[in-house]
Amino acid sequence: MDKETVRKQIDRIWELNQWVTELWETLPSDEAIQAVEERRRGAEPDDYSWLSSELQHLMIQAGRDSEAEAVVDEMIARLPDDVRFPISKASLNLYFKKEPEKALAAIELALERARRTRFFHREALGVKARILLQLGRGEALTQALEEIMALEIDPEIPDIGRERDFVDRAPPGMIAEDVLTRYDRFRPRRESDGNRRSTPDEPPEWNSE
């Protein structure tokens, strides 16, 4: 994809985001959601995908979690190579619906796609680590950390920076000591991390490193 096409896509995403933000800030939540739904119906494929993402976020903010999940499920079926919508479903079930087992199933689908496409592979593994932490599965969490450290990230393929909130929140002994030591070298703890740590009940703030 050439730079001009990428620039146009970014401009279009910004335009849609600003429109949705203005709706949310000026209209009652149900009216804002209805407006996005109506625009989404006749949208071109790229706009449809982005508006679907915006729509599910608005529905979550409005407490309409089941409807948000239905939007995500539609997009998962529509886009068989997409990784972000399965990640969104996992996060929705982990943080908002409080169903970590369903979140784990969703993130496994995201990982199946990430291994095939290489897109957002580390991000999906980080979400899996948070789910396993909440479920108290130390052995599986240790394995997820091994997978994160073993990934070879292509700078040309979208993914997230190195994270460690799931390591910092793990109780002593939950993660194998040798893996913990190697992860501390892989992603050292920084002073700023103290303000970024999330609880098991809220999504993390993403690092850019």
pLDDT at residue number 192: 74
Cβ neighbours of residue 118 closer than 8 Å, sequence gap 6 or more: 154, 157
pLDDT at residue number 196: 47
Longest distance between any two alpha carbons in the chain, whole Å: 54
* CA proximity to 120, closest of 78, 166, 151: 151
* pLDDT tens by residue, 44-88: 999 999 999 999 999 999 999 999 999 999 999 999 999 999 999
Do 147 and 129 contact (CB within 8 A), yes or no? no
* pLDDT tens by residue, 4-38: 776 888 899 999 999 999 999 999 999 999 999 99
pLDDT at residue number 198: 45
Tokens of 27: 């209209």
Alpha-carbon torsion (24, 26, 30, 32), positive or negative:
negative
Do 133 and 167 contact (CB within 8 A), yes or no? no
Answer yes or no: is pLDDT of 193 > 70.
Answer: yes
Does the predicted TM-score (pTM) go above 0.85? Answer: yes
Fold of 3-195: 1.25.40
pLDDT at residue number 1: 55
SS3 of residue 205 by DSSP: coil
Answer yes or no: is pLDDT of 169 > 90.
Answer: yes
Residue extents of the structural domains in the chain: 3-195
Confidence of residue 191 (pLDDT cuts 50, 70, 90): confident
Answer yes or no: is pLDDT of 173 > 60.
Answer: yes
Confidence of residue 207 (pLDDT cuts 50, 70, 90): very low
Q: How many CB atoms lie within 10 A of CB 115?
A: 11
* pLDDT tens by residue, 105-134: 999 999 999 999 999 999 999 999 999 999
Answer yes or no: is pLDDT of 194 > 70.
Answer: no
Cα 144 to chain centroid, rounded: 16
Answer yes or no: is pLDDT of 203 > 90.
Answer: no
